[in-house]
Amino acid sequence: MRMTRGERWFSVFNHLALGAFALLALAPFIHILAQSFSSYRAIMSGEVSFLPVEWTTEAYVKVFQDPGFLQAFLVSVQRTVLGTCLSVLLTCMLAYPLSRAYIQGRSFIMFFIVFTMLFSGGMIPTYLVVKQLQLMNTFWVYIIPGAINAFHAVIMKNFFQSIPSELEESARIDGASNLGILFRIVIPLSMPAIATIALFNAVGQWNSFFDAVMYVTDSSLKPLQIYLRELVMSGQSNINTTDSLERQLLAIESLKAAALIASTLPILIVYPFLQKYFVKGIMIGSVKG
């Protein structure tokens, strides 16, 4: 069916508007990227907009040579990988029995899971629980308290319900156990939904900083977001610059930009590999069942 002239103009305007909004969203990121590759003088004189001025990679060299940045980066990578894997595993093991109609009391359990999405214990009770469990100033304080997300459990439970029950029945006839059915049949068929919650978990773990502020005082356990927070808000950094105080003040702006870009790249690299599963997983997991 051919579009009318008015429809064509509307389509063109719609695409231009979407392109303009996309450029507006990307503008701050492009500006920071340009700053990270610009000289200190160009940044402080206000010459940098969306293209680097006096191209240099000195800021990146200094950032990646800083032991504090490398330690914080390692902590963030460890908590993201371990936290995501453990969360996906526990979420699947919780959601699978809740998706089976023959499990008694599953509606009662689902009520309490959904209830936690509406009401939480609060910051002070959570702090007291973490303290009583002796998780303060430990790496596991990043992993255990948020190991299972109620929203993710609902998505996986609804997705598991969309898998034909005949597959489970045939597996039981062949002698498969519950865990065997889960790991050999259900999970391989649920990769779109698993990729979705894995991406949610990874982004959440990578960007999280409040738990480090609340529960961690050991500098060796602070993640990258705390390092960036201190660098951006107060300009505190152990990065070696020059001996001149003026040069140090000029350098810190370029170092901030380089550190911000370096902290964003891992998620930008991972996302394209999961994007093809993302929309399918979130749609099916949300509406099925």
According to the model, what pLDDT value does residue 87 have? 93
Residues 6+ apart with CB under 8 A from 63: 69, 239, 255, 258, 259, 262
**Does some domain include residue 85?**
yes
**Does some domain include residue 5?**
no
**Does residue 145 carry a pLDDT above 80?**
yes
- For 135-248, strand residue ranges (E) read none
CATH number at 267 reads 1.10.3720.10
Neighbours of 68 (CB within 10 A): 18
**Structural domain containing residue 276:** 60-287
Element (H, E) at 83: helix 67-98
**Does some domain include residue 136?**
yes
**Does some domain include residue 253?**
yes
Domain count, the chain: 1
Q: With bands split at pLDDT 50, 70 and 90, how would you rate the model's confidence at 120? A: confident
The residue with greater pLDDT, 31 or 221, is 221
From 69, 215, 199, select the one nearest 140 (Cα to Cα): 215
According to the model, what pLDDT value does residue 275 have? 67
- As a whole number of angstroms, the distance between CA 289 and CA 286 comes to 9
The whole-angstrom distance between residue 226's C-alpha and the CA centroid of its chain comes to 15
**Does some domain include residue 76?**
yes
From 190, 98, 197, select the one nearest 147 (Cα to Cα): 197
Q: Would you give the end-to-end CA distance of the chain in angstroms?
A: 36
**Does some domain include residue 87?**
yes
* pTM over cut 0.95: no
According to the model, what pLDDT value does residue 143 have? 92
